[in-house]
Amino acid sequence: MAGLWYEEFKEGQVFDHALSRTVTEYDNMQFCNATLNTQPLHIDFHFAAETEFGQPLVNSLFTLGCVIGMTVTETTLGTTIGNLAMTDVNFPRPVFHGDTIRTRTTIKSKRESKSRPNDGIVVFYHEGLNQRGEVVATCLRTALMRKRPAEAA
């Protein structure tokens, strides 16, 4: 178990996650195929060349998945029960093939669960940044987290 128990999170705590990922054309195409997303802006180089971007954009949901996925090992691996919400999702800059994404997480808030005394609720603010340090994705994610069991204390 590498994740943190509910009690180990502190409001304002910041994680600069160790993992990063260079996004490839294959990643984008595979994700679009798997999700049946036929948007030519993602999969058609000739179409995308005629847009203001001049090249295909990486599917924003792939970007969001990577941003959140990079956080798991250091925060929620083995200690989360499940996601309750993902809100305030923004993509202020596009991601292109060859961009390298890394993630920073800030703990926005936490509270005890009213209905589950052995669990708590943590709100994570995730920021995805490219290789130039520009923010490419943000999201508030609310997760139901396990409290430390008595035997682990």
- Write out the DSSP string of 57-77: PPPHHHHHHHHHHTTHHHHTT
pLDDT at 153: 61
pLDDT at 30: 98
* Tens-digit pLDDT profile for residues 92-131: 999 999 999 999 999 999 999 999 999 999 999 999 999 9
Mean pLDDT over 54-81 rounds to 97
Say if residue 43's pLDDT is above 70: yes
pLDDT at 132: 98
Q: Which CATH class is domain 6-147?
A: alpha beta
Mean pLDDT of the residues in the chain: 96
pLDDT at 152: 65
pLDDT at 111: 97
Strand order in the sheet with 119-129: 14-22, 100-112, 119-129, 135-146, 80-90
pTM score, whole prediction: 0.93
Structure tokens at 124: 């994570």
Helices 60-69 + 25-34 axis angle, to 10: 110
pLDDT at 143: 98
Percent of the chain with pLDDT over 70: 98
pLDDT at 151: 73
pLDDT at 2: 83
Q: Taking the domains of the chain in order of start, what are their residue ranges? A: 6-147
Confidence of residue 150 (pLDDT cuts 50, 70, 90): confident
